[in-house]
Amino acid sequence: MSPEPDAMGIAGPEGSGSAASPVLGARLEVDVQVAFEGFDLEVGQAIPATGVTAVFGPSGSGKTTLLRSLLGFETRSRGRIALNGDVWLDSEAGVAVPPHRRPVGCTFQDGRLFPHLDVEGNLGYADRRSAPAPGVAASITRDDVVDALDLGPLLDRRPGTLSGGERQRAALGRALLSRPRLLLLDEPLSALDRRRKAEIMPYLLALHSRFGIPTLYVSHAVDEVALLADRVLVLADGRVQAFGGTVEVLEQLDLAPLTERFQAAAVLEATVGAHDDEYRLTWLDLDGQRLSVPRIEHLAVGESARLLVRSRDVSLATERPSPTSIRNVLSGVLVSLQQDESTAFAEATVDLGSHRLRARITRASAAELGLTVGSPVFALLKSVSLDTRAGR
Amino acid sequence: MNLPELGPLWLSLQLAAAATAVLLVLGTPLAWWLSGTRSRLKPVIEAVTALPLVLPPTVLGFYLLLLMSPRSWLGGLWVEVTDTTLTFSFAGLLIASVVYSLPFMVQPLQAAFESLGRGPLEAAAALRASPLDAFLTVAAPLSLRGFLTAAVLTFAHTIGEFGVVLMVGGNIPGKTRVISIAIYEHVETLRYAEAHTLAAGLLLFAFVVLVFVYVFNRRLPVHVA
């Protein structure tokens, strides 16, 4: 029953985590155990308290339980939680700071705006209760938040009259106005359809660079994680499966079972090589090869762009294809081919040099093309998603 | 037409208003605790709260009478402090009414608080609201309908009580003769005209209050998560 918190152990060797964290010692120490009937969560991880950390995993993996432990709502939590040395939970010492005294801001999947207050009232509720304290968040004002999230037209509306996307924007604004030292976003996009997602994504992308609050972003969607996060904590069955930089973690193939098949994707980091004004394209350099994407307005030549390529959007060929409408063809080496005998599909991994692509092809095509590990292949990219953050 | 004494009506209204006020103060925290607790005592407390619903008023009145008699600890203490007896007094009636009407305050409030769920309160806590702050600024406003229903049921139920009042308060004009007892008295003494006037007045009053409540309730916003 009584676990043995090894406070030194979970913090990890000094320096190993701080490479990613410019603020010395800014980190969230998590070493919690939560046991329910039929499920237990055990997470021991020091997370740099900078940038955006995705907490990623399939439903039922313990993401929300972890979040509720951090917020202080999970009274069965045991172990230790501390942000930058401020202890929120230390069950050995009998410390459990109540939720309203933890400087955490949070948005919930269902928004949870107060239905008896309009948007203005909801923002004010947070604003009045969070006296500006020293720290990054102290300077956040109501006007900043209204401006950053375009809440102006919504201020006198009641939550019941808002669309899903508007509700999440208002909830984000409210969470920011609690001037938190840590922001927790619990699947803010999961209740939204594709169009609403696209509507709110730019706000999420801009959030961190504008307000600079360290953020934990809980999600089960690879594309959100790939575009938003600096690093990823992968949870499965209540345990940490992986932790590290987004690109490295998402490239690990053993994550495949965790992501639904259609979601599998690779993240690539490319450099803007040139802009083409005539065709409104931007050329990107990637491992010595070139890609073209629709013109990226805000990135200058030499800046880096993060790309997400879903494996279902990649086709393979053994020879460079004759002209097609697909513009992006990359050459590489097939490094693995996993056939799933119970389906029609196989998952191929192509090494491009310093990046890897994943392709989902049928097993029949793999056989007809005579694909063998180690042979050169051409990858045809039907579609590429782009992280539009500036300055990454 | 013989106009009856209006004293009993006035006394009933005072008693009902006082009982409602006292129960709002006592019943709200009790209902709040019941709605959120995981204590093993919860079913016991719930059962005690619901007892007045199932007990015959005479049983309740009998025990309350014993409790308030100057020989019991409560009645004796009351005599020492106030120099009057608790039985056959307005204060005694009020205590009896509070006990008798307790479930009518607690149950609607508990249901209202339970239907809120933990969502709004967690949201408030995440915005630094202390539990009391969250109750006053989130739970209470969202439970306005529950408060209205509870207050009206308590008020109406107190106006209509008879057995407990008779056991504890007796029938002292100006002190404990409430409207239901006055009607009974008029009927017993065959003064049907007075009984009619009081009864019809009470009927009309009850109807008007209920219509008002239903109209008002419709206008209150429903907050469904």
Domain ranges of chain B: 7-219
Chain A residues whose CB is inside 8 A of the B223 CB are: 115-116
Contact (CB<8Å) B123/A99 = no
In terms of CA atoms, which chain A residue is nearest residue B140? A116
Q: In which element (H, E) is residue A36 found?
A: strand A27-36
Residue contact B120–A114, C-beta within 8 A: yes
Contact call for A100 and B134, based on CB within 8 A? yes
The answer, for A246 touching chain B at a CB cutoff of 8 Å, is: no
Long-range pairs of A35-40 with CB within 8 A, sequence gap ≥ 24: A35/A76, A36/A76, A39/A65, A39/A238, A40/A238
Residue B155 tokens, joined: 């008020």
Distance from CA of B135 to the nearest CA of A (A): 13
Fold topology of A265-387 = OB fold (Dihydrolipoamide Acetyltransferase, E2P) (2.40.50)
B122 touches A at CB < 8 Å? yes
Closest CA to B138 of B148, B124, B152: B124
CATH domain A7-253 topology: Rossmann fold (3.40.50)
A100, A106, A174: residue with CB nearest B130? A100
> What DSSP state is assigned to residue A62?
S
Q: What is the ipTM of this complex?
A: 0.78
Distance from the B47 Cα atom to the nearest Cα atom in chain A, whole angstroms = 28
In this predicted model, what pLDDT tens digit does every residue of B170-212 receive, in sequence order?
777 778 888 888 888 889 898 898 888 888 888 888 888 788 8
- pLDDT band of residue A355 (cuts 50, 70, 90) is confident
* Integer CA distances (angstroms), B133 to A31, A196, B146, in order: 31, 34, 19
Whole-structure pTM value: 0.73
Residues in chain B with CB shorter than 8 Å from the CB of A105 are 126
Contact criterion met (CB < 8 Å) for B128 and A116:
no
Q: Which of B123, B129, B131 sits opposite A108 (nearest CB)?
A: B123
Structure tokens given for A85: 């040395």
Of A108, A113, A130, the CB nearest to B128: A130
Whether residues B127 and A110 touch (CB distance < 8 A) is answered with: no
pLDDT of residue A263: 61
Residue of B nearest to A67 (CA): B126
Under the banding of pLDDT at 50, 70 and 90, the label for residue A21 is very low
Mean pLDDT (chain A, rounded): 81
Q: Is A115 on the interface with B (CB under 8 A)?
A: yes
Residue type, position A181, single letter? R
Strand, helix or coil for residue A109: coil
Per-position DSSP letters for A255-323, written without gaps between them: GGGGS-GGG-EEEEEEEEEEEETTTTEEEEEETTEEEEEE--TT--TT-EEEEEEEGGGEEEESSPPPS
Please give the structure tokens belonging to residue A309: 């390529």
Instruction: Indicate the length of chain B as a whole number.
Output: 225
Q: Is B47 on the interface with A (CB under 8 A)?
A: no
Question: Which neighbouring-strand residues pair with A29?
Answer: A46, A82
Give the residue from A324, A177, A350 showing the smallest Cα distance to A253: A350
Nearest to A129 among B129, B141, B221 (CB): B129
- Residue A38 tokens, joined: 């039929």
Instruction: Pick one of 3.30.950.10, 3.30.465.10, 1.10.3720.10, 3.30.70.920 as the CATH number of B7-219.
Output: 1.10.3720.10
pLDDT at position A252: 67
Q: Locate tokens 């955006």: which residue?
A: A52
A311-354 pLDDT, tens digit per residue, is: 888 889 988 888 888 888 999 999 888 887 888 888 888 888 87
Angstrom distance (rounded) from CA B104 to CA B52 = 9
CA proximity to A141, closest of A149, A150, A132, A133: A132
- Does any CB of chain B come closer than 8 Å to the CB of residue A73? yes
pLDDT at A78 over 60: yes
- Rounded-to-integer distance, Cα A362 and Cα B216, Å: 65
